[in-house]
Amino acid sequence: MTTAVGRTGSDSEAFWADVEAGGLPLRRCRHCTRTFVLPLPSCPYCATEDPEVIQAKGTGSVYSWVVVHHAFDPAFDGDVPYVVAAVQLDEGARVYGRLEGIPFDAIAPDLTVERVAPAGDGRPPLVFRPLARTPA
Ligand SMILES: [Zn+2]
């Protein structure tokens, strides 16, 4: 069974608690409007303080990905092979999560994806799948 690893007591603990509850919190700079994930007190691009917290919609596109064949943590041994993708969210920030629901050889740059609601069963809380398209 997959478990959350290394989150307790970290600066990202509140982020992961929100993600596990179905949210996807980002920080947006009140000056330059760029978004970022880290809970920083100021914008990493222009240093303006006090960014606002917004919730991402959970849609975006694949920036890059890797197929994991050897889990870097024993908690994920039962999941291999799996895909970890860098997803460029529509709000601008980039996050990393599982990519499921597509054959490995069909993954391509700019593939549009959407977040899957957290299963709450110990599975990774940040999972994406190809965006369901409406037939033309
Ligand atoms: Zn800024």
Q: What is the pLDDT of residues 58-105, one digit of tens each?
A: 999 999 999 999 988 888 899 999 999 999 999 999 999 999 999 999
Whole-number Å distance, alpha carbon 36 to ligand 1 midpoint, is 10
The model's pTM is 0.88
C-alpha span between 2 and 123 (Å, rounded): 6
Domain-wise residue ranges, the chain = 13-130
Query: What's the 44 CA to ligand 1 centre distance in angstroms?
Result: 7
| CA 3 and chain centroid, separation | 16
CA of 95 to the centre of ligand 1 (A): 18
Residue 104 DSSP label: G
Of the CA atoms within 13 Å of residue 23, those in its CB half-sphere come to 13
